[in-house]
Amino acid sequence: MSEPTDLSPSDAAKLAASRAAIALVEDGMKLGLGTGSTAVIMVRELAARARAEGLSLRCAATSQATADLASSLGLRVEPLDQIGWLDLTIDGADEVDPDLNLIKGGGGAHLREKIVARASDRMVVIADPGKVVETLGAFHLPVEVIQFGWQITERLIREMLEAQGLGQRPILLRKRDGQPFLTDEGNLILDLSLEAIPDPARLARGFADIPGVVEHGLFLGICDLAIIGKPDGSVVELTRDDLSDEVDPLFAEEDEA
């Protein structure tokens, strides 16, 4: 593979993580492909390796955008139900905490991303060091809701947040080009600015009790491995078993930045 030039430090880190993740791919695998800027880099690298090595892969995409990209690069993309259970899903994340809990959905695909991740033997997250956080919540939390009665759903979310002691936080209807953003499923997204989420599991249970909420961007206990790339091309691999040894240095690097 030719080395890209003029990469930003963040993109160089994403490239390093992507290459480490696709090294896990074996011929004949059934793969889940994530969505977002990091996933774009990963899909391009995966397609290049598949061409170079003649790999036979079956891929399920988490968004139409990813499906279009992967297909254009020669990867075989099929509906998830047609492929069945997946060997491996590789995806990015907006935040990764010390327990490998995630916030996802910055690209608006977290519903399909969660379905695909749950339908996999293993979910691997790729990210740059800026995505590693001590506590989830600085990045907005996307909540996908159906269009019918969405303002009532928003009100119920506000009441739930107050009941959990999270106070009155801004909730914005996601828009694109001045119009409400619609997911691939035709739903709306409410972005919650929570600052910090002290008990993600409790918050997830709260969303489950609200009619109209289709899915939220909290991925709890789903990620098996996080590969954190660095601008110099090196990576740190984090699992739930060894995080205490590896996450603190990452935090220290971010504090010094």
14 is in an annotated binding site: no
105 is in an annotated binding site: yes
User: DSSP readout, 142-156?
Assistant: EEEE-STTHHHHHHH
30 is in an annotated binding site: no
CA–CA separation, 246 vs 26, rounded Å? 27
95, 113, 144, 154: the catalytic one is 113
Residue 237 is among the residues annotated as catalytic for this protein: no
149 is in an annotated binding site: no
Degrees, nearest 5: CA angle 80-68-78: 25
Rg (CA), the chain: 18
Structure tokens at 2: 């030719």
CA–CA separation, 234 vs 52, rounded Å? 23
35 is in an annotated binding site: yes
User: For helices 64-72 and 37-53, what crossing angle results, to 10°?
Assistant: 30
94 is in an annotated binding site: yes
- What are residue 123's DSSP bridge partners? 89
186 is in an annotated binding site: no
11 is in an annotated binding site: no
- In the annotated binding site for substrate, the residues are 35-38, 91-94, 104-107, 131
Q: Catalytic residues, which ones? A: 113
- In the annotated binding site, the residues are 35-38, 91-94, 104-107, 131
